[in-house]
């Protein structure tokens, strides 16, 4: 298992900086979509200041708690500092104003308009910092009839069309197990923020970035959407079969199933040749994709009759050698211990002083000169309150007064 936070000595000797070094992010987000976004920015070197209420981000108390630490929280809040500010009080909002003045990015995942109700509308933010990039992650977008609706991943999956195409025809629609719309919206927002920062370099001023959970899922409908837009025909649920290509999917072996993806005629010919069924490509019943698609069940039965003769490992070796994409269906334990996943450092271990080390998912984006690193574990609640306020120009007496008044806590 890879150890996180190991410095890239070649980069250090060359004086290379992380891609977002020098960028300060004021992070007002909580739970998942927003913290995932700001974590991605922190992984790329941004200084992320997580502003939390007195009780902290709710996920500090969720998921598996080991040695007093939520691994859910730890996994999505690495590379951040924590400051506790009471934003319900005007003195707390004054503190936020001071932080905004020195920031590059302000990101929240409140409903549209909540930040303005707190006194931070577009005009006020521009007055405080005209170079500020602001970003909001929400459920449905800031325009349209659903603006004020509460949002949750399950609802966004249901309304985006995503669930309608998952599962098998004749069965109920099926959600994606992971909170995919939260993660997509957070990922898009991080991409939008980096783009807005580059635009600021070019144009000299900040702008607003918005992503929405439902719209992020809609954008991922890919060829299912293009086919519907072209033909007006709604896609059917096809389970593990491909909605456009046949044969394609899971095939049975002596000891389980293998996933095979012959996505075009060239790869399909290789697949059939390995099975000893290459002549099917010349069979009048199967010599075009449309015909194969119409006879998919019959064709799959022919293929399964062959694949059932050998083991998973045998077919995977033969098919990969022939250039046919294939693999086992692995459960999560198998996937995380897969030698390729290990080689890519996709499970890392991060030290958390006062707690056991936390294993978490690693970095899917690989930069060869300035790689992502964990330079800070997920912060204890309010651990950096004094530090951050001092950097914003607060004196010791001012900080003490804020603590006494209950505006700043948990130091």
**Residue 243 φ then ψ, to 5°:** -75, -10
Are 280 and 286 a contacting pair, CB within 8 Å? yes
Cα–chain-centroid distance for residue 305?
Answer: 40
Nearest to 87 by CA among 64, 110, 60, 61: 110
CA-to-CA dists, residue 152 to 53, 111, 184, 212, angstroms: 21, 12, 13, 11
Q: Catalytic site residue 86?
A: no
Helix axes 180-203, 33-43, angle to 10 degrees: 50
Strands 249-253 and 80-85: unpaired
Q: Which helix (H) or strand (E) holds 383?
A: none
Catalytic residue, from 182, 255, 273, 331: name it.
182
E-strand stretches of 303-399: 326-328, 347-350, 358-361
Are 251 and 303 a contacting pair, CB within 8 Å? yes
Task: Output DSSP code: residue 250.
Answer: E
Q: Cα separation of 181 and 213, whole Å? A: 5
Nearest to 405 by CA among 174, 192, 107, 86: 86
Q: Which residues are catalytic?
A: 182
């Amino acid at each position: 298992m890879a150890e996180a936070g190991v410095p890239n000595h070649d980069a250090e000797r060359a004086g290379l900086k992380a891609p977002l070094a020098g960028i300060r992010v004021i992070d007002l987000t909580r739970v998942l979509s927003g913290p995932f976004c700001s974590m991605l920015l922190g992984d790329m070197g941004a200084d992320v200041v997580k502003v939390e209420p007195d009780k902290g981000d709710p996920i500090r108390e969720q998921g598996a708690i080991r040695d007093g630490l939520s691994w859910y929280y730890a996994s999505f809040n690495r590379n951040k500092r924590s400051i506790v500010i009471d934003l319900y009080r005007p003195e707390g909002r004054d503190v936020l104003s001071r932080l905004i003045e020195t920031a590059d990015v302000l990101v929240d995942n409140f409903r549209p308009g909540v930040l303005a109700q707190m006194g931070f509308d577009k005009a006020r933010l521009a007055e405080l910092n005209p170079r500020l990039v602001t970003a909001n992650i929400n459920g449905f977008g800031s325009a349209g009839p659903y603006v004020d609706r509460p949002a949750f991943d399950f609802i966004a999956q249901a309304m985006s069309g995503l669930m309608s195409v998952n599962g098998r025809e004749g069965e109920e629609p099926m959600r994606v197990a992971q909170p995919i719309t939260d993660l997509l919206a957070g990922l898009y927002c991080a991409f939008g923020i980096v783009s807005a920062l580059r635009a600021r370099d070019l144009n000299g001023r900040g702008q607003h970035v918005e992503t929405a959970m439902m719209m992020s899922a809609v954008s991922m409908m890919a060829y299912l959407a293009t086919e519907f837009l072209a033909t007006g025909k709604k896609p059917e649920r096809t389970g593990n079969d491909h909605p456009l290509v046949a044969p394609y999917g899971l095939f049975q072996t002596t000891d389980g199933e293998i996933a095979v993806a012959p996505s075009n005629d060239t790869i399909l010919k290789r697949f059939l040749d390995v099975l000893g069924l290459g002549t099917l490509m010349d069979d009048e019943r199967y010599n075009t994709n449309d015909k194969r698609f119409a006879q998919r069940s019959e064709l799959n039965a022919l293929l399964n009759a062959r694949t059932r003769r050998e083991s998973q490992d045998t077919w995977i070796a033969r098919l990969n050698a022939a250039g046919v994409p294939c693999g086992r269906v692995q459960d999560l334990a198998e996937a995380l211990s897969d030698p390729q996943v290990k080689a890519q450092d996709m499970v890392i271990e991060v030290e958390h002083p006062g707690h056991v080390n936390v294993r978490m998912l690693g970095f899917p984006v690989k930069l060869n000169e300035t790689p992502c690193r964990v330079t800070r574990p997920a912060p204890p609640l309010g651990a950096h309150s004094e530090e951050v306020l001092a950097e914003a120009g607060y004196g010791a007496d001012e900080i003490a007064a804020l603590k006494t008044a209950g505006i700043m806590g948990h130091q």
